[in-house]
């Protein structure tokens, strides 16, 4: 008698259900080891502090920005008096991409600066590894909302201090104290127009996240 595991010649056979079909030739699934990881980073700070400039300086794709000309109505709401020539404003967000290597892509999201768009922040920051909060020493208080936000959410962040023409170059320890950020949080000078300077700020953020994780302060 021949059962499912036996054949007439006695060599044995397998039932159809015990046979694993070969991988189809057109299965192009990427092996796990070569899959691309993506990391989401956020750039925040007050209106006109340089977020759009920051994302544009480092993105490898033309950054997707949702700039709109400031209307006479918005000029009354958004204080552009210290932002000189600024004629546009980000109405939703900035978006840029940096491919680090064939396994890691970083996505950069710039928050809309105006407080009236705060409702978008949760979606924008959801799943973010960390944030760079930009600060302009002429109006540090404009960055307090962003600092409060990331502190409350326990999102790792670093502070980038940019310098505009005519702004006094305060020593970093003084800026740190004025911003009230904890001693372990990096505060670095940053020229948002300069790709290398922006890269330094991002690497500082990644190192900070790494340190926090190593110390098991964030999951």
Ligand X SMILES: Nc1nc2c(ncn2[C@@H]2O[C@H](COP(=O)(O)OP(=O)(O)O)[C@@H](O)[C@H]2O)c(=O)[nH]1
Place of tokens 């505060």: 187
Report if residue 204 touches ligand X, rule: CB under 6 A.
Answer: no
Contact with ligand X (CB under 6 A) among 41, 70, 83, 179:
83
Question: In the window 158-197, what residues touch ligand X (CB under 6 A)?
Answer: 162-165, 191-193
For residue 208, the partner it binds in ligand X, Mg ion, none, with Cβ less than 5 to 8 A by kind, is: none
Burial of 108 (0-12, 13-18, 19+ CB in 10 A): buried
51 is an interface residue for ligand X by CB under 6 A: yes
> Tokens in use for 86?
């600024």
Q: How far is the CB of 20 from ligand X (least distance, A)?
A: 55
* Contact call for residue 50 and ligand X (CB under 6 A): yes
Burial class (CB in 10 A: 0-12, 13-18, 19+), 43: buried
Q: Give the nearest residue (CB) to ligand X.
A: 50
Tell whether residue 52 is a contact of Mg ion (CB under 5 A).
yes
**CA 21 → CA 15, 18, 24, 25, 31, distances in Å?**
13, 10, 8, 12, 19
Q: Answer yes or no whether residue 90 interacts with Mg ion by CB under 5 A.
A: yes
Q: Provide, rounded to whole angstroms, the least separation between the CB of residue 45 and ligand X.
A: 6
Which is nearer to ligand X, 83 or 128 (by Cβ)?
A: 83
Angle between helices 195-214 and 51-58 (to 10 degrees): 90
Q: Which of Mg ion, ligand X, none lies near 156, with the C-beta cut-off 5 to 8 A by kind?
A: none
Of 168, 109, 104, 182, nearest to 139 by C-alpha is 168
């Amino acid at each position: 008698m021949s059962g499912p595991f036996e054949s007439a010649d006695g060599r044995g056979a397998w039932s159809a259900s015990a046979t694993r079909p070969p991988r189809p030739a057109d299965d192009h699934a990427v092996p796990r080891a070569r899959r691309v990881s993506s990391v989401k980073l956020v750039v925040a700070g007050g209106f006109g502090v340089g977020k759009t400039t920051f994302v544009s300086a480092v993105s490898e794709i033309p950054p997707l920005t949702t700039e709109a000309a400031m209307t006479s109505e918005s000029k009354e709401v958004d204080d552009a008096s210290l932002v000189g020539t600024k004629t546009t404003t980000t109405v939703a967000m900035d978006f840029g991409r940096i491919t680090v290597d064939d396994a890691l892509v970083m996505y950069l999201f710039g928050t809309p600066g105006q407080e009236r768009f705060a409702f978008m922040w949760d979606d924008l920051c959801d799943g973010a590894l960390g944030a760079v909060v930009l600060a302009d020493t002429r109006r540090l208080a404009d960055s307090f909302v962003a600092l409060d936000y990331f502190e409350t959410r326990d999102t790792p962040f670093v502070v980038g201090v940019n310098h505009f023409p005519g702004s006094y170059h305060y020593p970093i320890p003084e800026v740190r104290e004025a911003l009230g950020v904890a001693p372990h949080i990096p505060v670095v000078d940053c020229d948002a127009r300069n790709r290398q300077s922006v890269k330094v700020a991002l690497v500082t953020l990644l190192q900070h996240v790494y340190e926090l994780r190593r110390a098991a302060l964030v999951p």
